[in-house]
Amino acid sequence: MPPDFIAAWLNKNDIFTALTIMEYWDGMVTTVQLVFLSLIIGLVFAVPLAILRTVKNPFVSGPVWLYTYLFRGTPLLIQLYIIYYGVAQIPGIQQTFWWEIFREPFYPALLAFTLNTCAYTTEIIRGAIVSTPHGEIEAAKAYGMNWFMRMRRIVLPSAARRAVQAYSNEVIFMLHSSAIASVVTIVDLTGAARNIYSRFYAPFDAFIFVALCYMALTFILVFAFRKLENHLLRHQRPVGS
């Protein structure tokens, strides 16, 4: 049944032609670029921010707390609207070089996604840092390590191990949140599905296909994180396994 049945079905369908498959493919490329770049940039900024967030001095940790509170306390869609439509309303921005960047929807979306994921990642890493066992820090102090060396050798590596599982969730959430990029005219996976849906009025075909695409991407992410966890947490496995 399967091959003939599928071939026959493909022959009589108007929707999944080479043209629309290419649209989905271009959408997938855009989604992956958007999500990957925002995650990487977000992670790079989240590590120092998380360290600052654990500092005792409120003038240092306060602003970071405010930032994470603002971006975790508001929906990503609203952040995207504010950045995308908001910057276009700033008087005279069209005459500055910034407009070259913000004219295209990709960069406002990248900015919104980066700020959002960075806020969540900061909190994830902070949580991992503050839950470092006291004994490890005391032992490091006893060895005469200064603050910087303690961070680099003891706190951050063990925090990374504790953070990786929560962070893998954040990565998957980010992939799914990126679907809202289509509201600001970006043709990502969801944007492609919406265009194809509105051309053929076939919501099931258009959206189930795109759901499968997201599932395939999620599967890749889950697989990669499992490998990473196995690598980072191998000291927790039973001996000999």
Query: Which chain residues interact with another protein by CB under 8 A?
Result: 85, 88-89, 94, 99, 103, 105, 183, 185, 194-195, 197-201, 203
Of 185 and 230, which CB lies nearer to another protein in the complex structure? 185
Give just the sign of the alpha carbon dihedral 228, 37, 205, 78.
positive
Q: Which is nearer to another protein, 75 or 157 (CB)?
A: 75
SS (H, E, C) 136-181: HHHHHHHCCCCHHHHHHHHHHHHHHHHHHHHHHHHHHHHHHHHHHH
Q: What is the largest CA-CA distance in the chain?
A: 74
Q: To the nearest whole angstrom, how small is the minimum distance from the Cβ of residue 16 to another protein?
A: 16
Distance in Å, CB of 19 to another protein, minimum? 10
Closer to another protein at the Cβ: 16 or 200?
Answer: 200
Q: What's the min distance (Å) between Cβ of 85 and another protein?
A: 6
In one-letter notation, the amino acid at residue 142 is: A
Nearer to another protein by Cβ, of 92 and 135: the residue is 92
Rounded least distance, CB 50 to another protein, Å: 35
**CA distances, 74 to each of 53, 82, 105, 119, 195 (Å):** 20, 11, 20, 11, 28
